[in-house]
Structure 1
Amino acid sequence: MKYINKSIFLLVFGALAACTYDFPEPQVNEPTAGSADFSKIISVGNSLTAGFMDGALYNRGQENSFAVILAEQARAVGGGDFNVPSINSTNGFFQMGPQGPLGRLVLTVNPQTGATGPAPIGAGDIPTDFTGDKSNLNNFGVPGITLLTALIPQTGGPASPQNPAYNRLYERFASNPGTSTVIGDAAAALADGGTFFTFWLGNNDVLGYATGGASNPAILTSDEDFQQRLGSALGALLQASPEAKGAVANVPSLAVLPYFTLVPWNALPLAQAQADQANAGYAQYNGGLALARNGGLITAEEEELRQIQFQAGQNGFVMADESLTDLSGLGIPSLRMSNPSDRATLPLAQALGQVVGGNPALIRGISFPVEDQFVLTIQEQAEVNQKITAFNGIISAAVQANNDRLVLVDVNDLLNRVLQGQVSSGGVGLTASIVPPTGGFSLDGVHPNARAHAFVANHFIDAINAKWGANIPKANPNNYIGNDLPR
């Protein structure tokens, strides 16, 4: 509802007469751009900005990214067209299957077990080149990019085993593949009449390390490199259009992602006979731990942690843990069973309890330990959390250094409140799950779905309105679809 306040102004025309007129003051809820200009918005980012959902980039996801929703809401305050490099695919590309490309994930019911879970929808599409006007794009979101790969031309190709930076989803719309960069293309668009930009990079500088179970330290960006690359990227955009203002988002906590919560630590069901057989196989191992403890090589607490003992029902799984005392000199591997402090990654759902290498004697999680890439230990979780805190401090400092032109959008805080059940719209909550109708994450367990993107867009709008005295109307998240019901 809009409210109109009226004031009386006295206008005097010469000395002949005085007439009184009623003029309406601006409506309290009247949309306004404040001291910002949204006539040409440019968005720079990774999969979150691109609208990647359900393990794929597909039409519905692209059309419902927070960047598109924000631009649509900004039309009320003078915002113009917002063009995306359309993927032109209903199902997108999740992975290759036996019969060809498979599309996005959907919830399906297993006819044998009755269990519901994500699975590819069926046929998908290999990403094709964008055939529209590359010079007229507004959305420069590229799934998978880090701050480094946003700044280097190798990201646009050519593809080769010697070019790990190559990204097909950038190459398809790059202004000059192999020469141009994501930041360079976005800066050129800003220089061509751009008035406002959103910037959301940095997630993948830690996310890839975490989703891989913290097993590959080489892909974790150092604090020094993060600071230098962030400065280069933001600097290029600020210099491209000296009057343009921007909204910069930070890195969310990984604790909120279903990718790390969907597979419980005790996800291994065993019958009594299976448990007995497995325990017989670890009798010698457990005996060796007792000898190591008696010899003063490990404490009683570590011996207890490393003991492997199965029972009928739900069990933890056997896993490798490099943080354990090295007893390899005694022929004792660094193994233990998972416990409530561990976070399994979503791919373990398909790998746990399966035969390894075609050898029926090797069962992952029982006779074959779950590998490092499938689990985050409590020490690795702490490492990831410390890195996110450091990155967010660097992002905050960069925004503060350009306080007249930039505003921080604390998405980390938003998603933490989602995790605590504190976010809703019209009485309908947003949850940190993939379960419809309130689940805010798409079926890959990492990327928000369309409804959650509307909440993110509104979070941007709140920050922008507060910073520049604007009144961009907010979207109604309940008008946006969450996850589809199981098929």
Structure 2
Amino acid sequence: MKNIKYILLSAVSLTFFACNDIEDVDRVEAELMVDSPALVAGSADFSNFVAVGNSLTAGFTDNALFIASQENSLPNMLSQKFALIGGGEFTQPLMNDNFGGIAVGGNRILEPRLVFGGAGPVSLESIIGPVTVSTDLAFNNPTGPFNNMGVPGAKSFHLLAPGYGSLANLSLGLANPYFVRMTGATPNVSVLDLTLAQAPTFFSLWIGNNDVLGYALSGGDGTNPLTPVEGAVGVGFSATYATLIGALTANGAKGVVANIPNVTSIPHFTTVPFSPLSPANEAFGPQIPTLNGVFGQLNQVFAFLESQGVTGATDRQIVFSETAASAVVVKDESLTDLSAQIAAVLSASDTFPVFVQSFGLPAQAAPLVANLFGTIYGQARQATAEDLLVLPSSSIIGTVNTDSVAFLQSQGLSEALATQFSLEGITMPLADKWVLLPSEQEEIAVAVSAFNDIIAANASQAGLALVDVNSILSELATSGIATGDFILKSNLATGGAFSLDGVHPTARGYSFLANEFMKAIDVTYGSNFEASGSLLSPSDYPTNYAAGLQ
């Protein structure tokens, strides 16, 4: 079996085009001229608008924050409309460049933005060459106060955390670099402290996405757990959210809040197919007969275990098709670990030593190889359509896992043989961090439902406007949503709504959401952004930023 490196996932390759599915070449524009009512604020006071939240509030897009993205942030768009009916100045903690990324004392800690590379997202520097990230926490933080209090990466409880903006806490993992830029001479204050100090008359609060998104982005591997529903303030989502709403409305401020989408519908989790291994791929196709011969040994074990009463063992059999795309191999920790059974059955087999010898190993190595098979494939199976592969897995599948190679060599395998059993998603099951299993998706769905019930209850009790982003994103992921001359969809790069990171909206996507915020404000406070024709035109906003953006 030859060494397989860097299998190209042609199914993930993207062709970039403007996002519209409406053939409007022959469309005749005929606008009915009617008198629109004057724009009014209703009972809302927009004179001091402060937006609170995470990356979705900050204007994060293409996996970075940069000047152009901040200028097209959702709350900045809202502030421009609010200014027409009494809204004041809206100040943002602007980055220092359009590269994105952050440095500390000249040492880069966050990378520049993504750009479109012709087939999909690539790093900015792969297109324009090395850049100097000029946003440096040690030298050039802006001076507040800031009306945009969106902190990328913040969870609900982070908004209450003292020291979350302290540079001294950054190396301890207790601070957020984006908030460090905003705290100035008061590094130990919280996001909520700085917000309340401005005495907002109107606020937006969109928080909670990261309370589930962090878990999802890590493939549910446990390194970034879901925020519990219950618990003390600063721990459980329910008490934390109620505290935020209580503090923001204590002095009579009105506002708009948004709920949390089920993140499994965003392109970060829907772009990479579960079966990307094509027999037409020159690096993979010729190896299929050999691979099936290797897995044939394992499949016989699964068949035997099924006959011995191990229900579902045959569901784990691994077969690669020579005529159609095949699913990757994944580790499913929800499965019963059959490591010991696999090792025992192979060790007892009269033919397994002959199989071991076919790899140039002595027959005496059969017990060792049997144990390794058990260790590697004890919870392995091929992926199904129910599994969601995270977007970064597209660059991992088919590559050699060097840690696995080192481990297998330490067990006595040659480097060549160790390499053959270390091909990500082929001979080495994809680790949990690359795959959202059905069980993990259910955990996310339960959490999102609970969080959204809490958000809705608090909004209702406080008389706040509520934007149902969950329903909006669900519609984007299915039928798409017509807006202006476009149909926005959730497809990565081509759908128009989501940026190249597969998580955050494009500027056009943010403008569409800003309109939804204004519609919700109209319903609750009697303003008339929609009826007066004052909504934004999404076609005025880009779906991507050029690599050479200055």
TM-score normalized by structure 2?
A: 0.77
Structure 1 letter corresponding to 2:213: L
1:285 to 298, 303, 314: 298
Take 1:295 and 1:178, find their aligned partners in 2: how far apart are those partners?
63
User: Where do 1:189-338 residues align within 5 Å?
Assistant: 189=198, 191=199, 194-216=200-222, 219-224=225-230, 225-239=236-250, 242-270=251-279, 271-296=284-309, 298-299=310-311, 302-312=312-322, 313-330=324-341, 331=343, 332=374, 333-338=378-383
Contact kept? 1:158, 1:177, Cα under 8 Å: no
SS at match of 2:491: coil
- The amino acid across from 2:73 in the alignment is S
Contact 2:214 2:224 in 1 (8 A): no
Partners in 2 of 1:160 and 1:245 — Cα distance?
34
Displacement of 1:291 in angstroms is 2.1
Tell me if structure 2 keeps the 8 A contact 1:87–1:128. Answer: no
In the other structure, the counterpart of 1:368 is: 428
Note the C-alpha offset of 1:311: 1.9
- Please give the alpha-carbon distance, in whole angstroms, between the structure 2 residues aligned to 1:371 and 1:178: 38
In 1: Cα distance, 2:450 partner to 2:156 partner: 15
- Determine the C-alpha separation between the residues in 1 that align with 2:37 and 2:315: 60
Tell me which residue corresponds to 1:10: none
2:516 to 441, 456, 459: 459
Higher mean C-alpha deviation, range 304-313 or range 346-355 = 304-313
- Equivalent in the alignment of 1:11: none
Q: RMSD in angstroms over aligned alpha carbons?
A: 2.3
1:253·1:388 contact (CA, 8 Å) conserved in 2?
Answer: yes
Question: Which of 441, 456, 466 is residue 396 of structure 1 equivalent to?
Answer: 456
How many residue pairs get matched?
A: 444
Q: Say if 2:76 is the partner of 1:73.
A: no
Say yes or no: does 1:120 pair with 2:181. Answer: no
Say which SS state the counterpart of residue 125 (structure 1) adopts. Answer: coil
Query: Which whole-Å CA distance do the structure 2 matches of 1:369 and 1:420 have between them?
Result: 31
Cross-structure match for 1:378:
438
Partners of 1:322 and 1:265 lie apart in 2 by 17
Residue 164 of structure 2 aligns to a residue in which SS?
A: helix
Whether 1:420 and 2:501 are equivalent positions in the alignment is no
Hey, what's the Cα distance between the residues in 2 that align with 1:154 and 1:294?
A: 59
CA distance in 1, matches of 2:204, 2:141: 25
Trace 1:126-145 onto structure 2 (pairs within 5 A). Answer: 127-129=135-137, 131-135=141-145, 137-145=146-154
Amino acid in structure 1 at the alignment position of 2:188: T
In the TM superposition, residue 284 of structure 1 has moved relative to its aligned partner by 2.4
Residue 146 of structure 1, CA deviation: 0.4
Residue 428 of structure 1, CA deviation = 1.2
In the alignment, structure 1 segments of 5+ residues that lack a partner are 5-27, 110-115
Q: Match for 2:467: what amino acid?
A: V
Letter in 2 for 1:391: F
8 Å CA contact 1:200, 1:249 repeated in 2: yes
The answer as to whether partners of 2:96 and 2:134 remain within 8 angstroms in 1 is: no
2:388 matched residue in structure 1? 343
SS at match of 1:219: coil
Quick one: distance in 2 between partners of 1:61 and 1:40? Answer: 22
Q: Distance in 2 between matches of 1:50 and 1:102?
A: 17
Question: Which residue number in structure 1 is paired with residue 68 of structure 2?
Answer: 60
Q: 1:422 to 1:327 in 2, by over 3 A?
A: closer
Alpha-carbon offset, residue 187 of structure 1: 1.3
Q: Distance in 1 between matches of 2:37 and 2:66?
A: 36
Identity %: 35
CA distance in structure 2 between the aligned counterparts of 1:318 and 1:186, rounded to whole angstroms: 48
Secondary structure of 1:149's partner?
helix
Q: How many angstroms does 1:37 deviate by? A: 0.8
Displacement of 1:422:
4.4
User: Amino acid of the residue matched to residue 373 of structure 1?
Assistant: K
1:15 corresponds to which residue?
none
Q: Which has the higher contact order (CA 8 A, sep 6+)?
A: 2
Residue 416 (structure 1) shift:
1.6
Shift in CA distance, 288/161, structure 1 to aligned 2, threshold 3 Å? farther
State the AA in 2 paired with 1:279.
N
**Aligned pairs for 1:436-475 within 5 A:** 436=494, 438-472=495-529, 473-475=534-536
- Greater share of residues in strand: 1
Structure 1 CA distance, aligned partners of 2:150 and 2:73?
10
Out of 92, 101, 117, which is 1:84 matched to? 92
Cα deviation, residue 176, structure 1: 4.3
Q: Which moved more, 1:262-271 or 1:47-56?
A: 262-271
Post-superposition Cα deviations, 1:305-349, rounded to whole Å, max 9, x if no partner, equal 200011224211111001112222313411000111110000101
The answer to whether residue 90 in structure 2 is matched with residue 33 in structure 1 is: no
- Tell whether the 8 Å contact from 2:318 to 2:381 is kept in structure 1 after alignment: yes
**In structure 2, what is the Cα distance between the partners aligned to 1:161 and 1:448?**
27
CA contact 2:387–2:438 (8 Å) conserved in 1? yes
1:290 maps to amino acid = A
Maintained 8 Å contact 2:489/2:496: yes
Q: Distance in 2 between matches of 1:283 and 1:420?
A: 39
TM-score, L = length of structure 1: 0.86
Checking the alignment, whether the CA contact within 8 Å between 1:103 and 1:124 is kept in structure 2 is no
Deviation at 1:246, TM superposition (A): 0.7
Distance 1:85 1:2, change over 3 A: farther
5+ residue gaps in structure 2? 1-31, 126-130, 231-235, 344-373, 406-418
1:255 Cα deviation from its structure 2 partner: 3.1
3-state DSSP class of the match of 2:115?
A: strand
**1:477 corresponds to which of 527, 538, 545:** 538
Q: Which residue of 2 aligns with 1:433?
A: 491
Q: Give, in angstroms, the shift of residue 140 of structure 1.
A: 0.2
1:438-486 deviation per Cα after TM superposition (whole angstroms, max 9, x unaligned): 4210000000010000000000000001111102321111100012589
